[in-house]
Amino acid sequence: MLRSIVLFVSVFAALEAGAATFAVNSTSDQTDAVPGNGVCSWMAGLCTLRAAIQEANAFPGADVIQIPAGTFTLSIAGAGEENAASGDLDIRDDVTLEGAGAGVTILDGAAIDRVLHVQPMNLATLSVTIRDVTIRNGATTELPGAGILHGDEGTLLVEDSTVSGNHVSGSTSSAIGGGISSNGLGSLTIRRSLLTGNGAARGAAVFHNGPLSLADSVLSSNTAIGSAAIDSYASVLIERCAFHGNTGSVLHVDGGSISNSTVSGNDSGFGGTITAYASGITIESSTIAGNTAGRALYALGPITLLNDVLAGASGGPECEINGGSIVSLGHNLDDDGTCAGSGPGDIPSRNPQLGPLANNGGPTPTMLPAPGSRLANAGDDASCPAADQRGFARNLGPDNACDIGAVEFSVPEPAAAALGATALLSLGMLCRRQR
Ligand SMILES: [Ca+2]
Ligand SMILES: [Ca+2]
Ligand SMILES: [Ca+2]
Ligand SMILES: [Ca+2]
């Protein structure tokens, strides 16, 4: 193992290309013996995660760190140190961290500090990818980002990972981003991931100050004073996600869009289930239902709705305006007439007959409407996404329009979803010709 690493590294070093792969093979928490010599080693043949990060920081170029199955628990006390020698693991150069799967590769902060801290050396900007790991039990007090702090203007990609049980204690404006805090102006992309059980005053799962792209992910059971799932100071692009069981409001957003997503079973807390600030939010083909203790949508800025269902808010109306606006572009259904009614195809004050949040196929939970629901075929074909939250094709077309909400449920035949919209249309034409 060691010989192959040395060989691999020496080839690249000879080319001065400066990129290496370091394979972690020890769950101990120990520092690297000689950072920058191209060898990850705290003692003969043993490469720890901390040593690999120190080595990747010091070794020129974008490196890859492979982390096998195992629990890698931080044990060297000393928060506030910034070169991965103690406390959190400081990432200071372009790198990819690759686990063996979120279920088996566990990076555990043991509450001695946050787990990962992405911050460039000098004035560089970093490109960092984290995949197939669990980041858990990070802890800070009045400091952002207990799981991951991204304090950079570069890019951070987190995919196929779990971020759970990370907590920022405190109540000040610095007590933000329990799971992930992207404090710089850099971009944060999260996909196919689970962020659950994180806590902070605001942005318990995610706080972001640069653009956020979030797809095919679940944000659940996060707890905040305000904005349990996401606290935004920049635009969001949220697609095919589920938000449930969060306490203390869910999304505080300020620009961008949410589509093909389900927001259900949350405590609306401060503001509303979704609170839109000055730059507003566009919500399309989404299901916002069964949230408690307040308004579903709270418009401090402009909210635009299209193909959405809003129902079952308790403790407040579905939609409330306070200085902003709520504009229906049509094809929205609500159960109290506060959101829908002014747009074409709107269906105000109707029960959408939604089923419980459940696994209805696809990577994220959804609410499947009953067969007779008014949501069926009531969407706007011109604007519906090609697929629903689950990734199932929407049955667009003149004979069978798309459905309102995050789930396409009125597919005539179970097999039709797999055929895709184009195939479905072709099949329909073929059938008509045969008749
Ligand atoms: Ca070394
Ligand atoms: Ca490097
Ligand atoms: Ca640090
Ligand atoms: Ca550190």
| DSSP state letters, 317-331 | -SEEESSSEEEE-S-
In three-state secondary structure terms, 358 is strand
Quick one: which of 88, 75, 83, 71 has its CA closest to 24?
71
Percent residues over pLDDT 70 in the chain: 90
3-state secondary structure 51-93: HHHHHHHHCCCCEEEECCCEEEECCCCCCCCCCCCCCCEEECC
d(CA 364, CA 206): 18
Task: Give per-residue pLDDT as tens, 314-350.
Answer: 989 999 999 999 999 999 999 999 999 999 999 999 9
- Predicted confidence at residue 270, as pLDDT, reads 72
Q: How far is the CA of 19 from the centre of ligand 2 (A)?
A: 6
Q: How far is the CA of 262 from the centre of ligand 4 (A)?
A: 37
In three-state secondary structure terms, 295 is strand
d(CA 222, CA 98): 25
- Closest ligand to residue 39's CA: 1
What is the β-pairing status of strands 230-232 and 251-253? parallel
Find out whether 230 and 254 touch, Cβ atoms under 8 Å. Answer: no
Confidence of residue 121 (pLDDT cuts 50, 70, 90): confident
Q: How far is the CA of 148 from the centre of ligand 2 (A)?
A: 19
What is the β-pairing status of strands 366-369 and 354-358? antiparallel
Residue corresponding to tokens 């044990």: 75
Q: How many CB atoms lie within 10 A of CB 195?
A: 31
**10 pLDDT more than 80:** no
Q: Is the pLDDT higher at 152 or at 236?
A: 236
Q: How far is the CA of 188 from the centre of ligand 1 (A)?
A: 30
Find out whether 402 and 380 touch, Cβ atoms under 8 Å. Answer: yes
Q: How far is the CA of 145 from the centre of ligand 1 (A)?
A: 28
d(CA 87, CA 78): 5
Q: How far is the CA of 124 from the centre of ligand 2 (A)?
A: 13
Quick one: which of 105, 114, 123 has its CA closest to 86?
114
In three-state secondary structure terms, 263 is strand
Q: In the numeric block, which tokens belong to residue 109?
A: 């902060």
Q: How far is the CA of 89 from the centre of ligand 3 (A)?
A: 7
- Closest ligand to residue 149's CA: 3
Quick one: which of 148, 108, 109 has its CA closest to 128?
148
d(CA 336, CA 349): 4
Q: How far is the CA of 96 from the centre of ligand 1 (A)?
A: 18
**365 pLDDT more than 90:** yes
Q: Is the pLDDT higher at 67 or at 421?
A: 67
Q: How far is the CA of 237 from the centre of ligand 3 (A)?
A: 28
As a whole number of Å, the CA-based R_g of the chain is: 24
- Predicted confidence at residue 124, as pLDDT, reads 79
pTM score: 0.90
What is the β-pairing status of strands 230-232 and 206-208? parallel
Domain ranges of the chain: 1-66
Which residues pair with residue 97 across a beta bridge? 65, 130
**263 pLDDT more than 50:** yes
Q: In the numeric block, which tokens belong to residue 177?
A: 């981003």
Q: How far is the CA of 60 from the centre of ligand 2 (A)?
A: 4
DSSP summary character for residue 226: B
- Predicted confidence at residue 397, as pLDDT, reads 72
Q: How far is the CA of 69 from the centre of ligand 4 (A)?
A: 23
Q: How far is the CA of 126 from the centre of ligand 1 (A)?
A: 21
Task: Give per-residue pLDDT as tens, 265-324.
Answer: 999 877 899 999 999 999 999 999 999 988 999 999 999 999 999 999 998 999 999 999
Q: Is the pLDDT higher at 388 or at 11?
A: 388
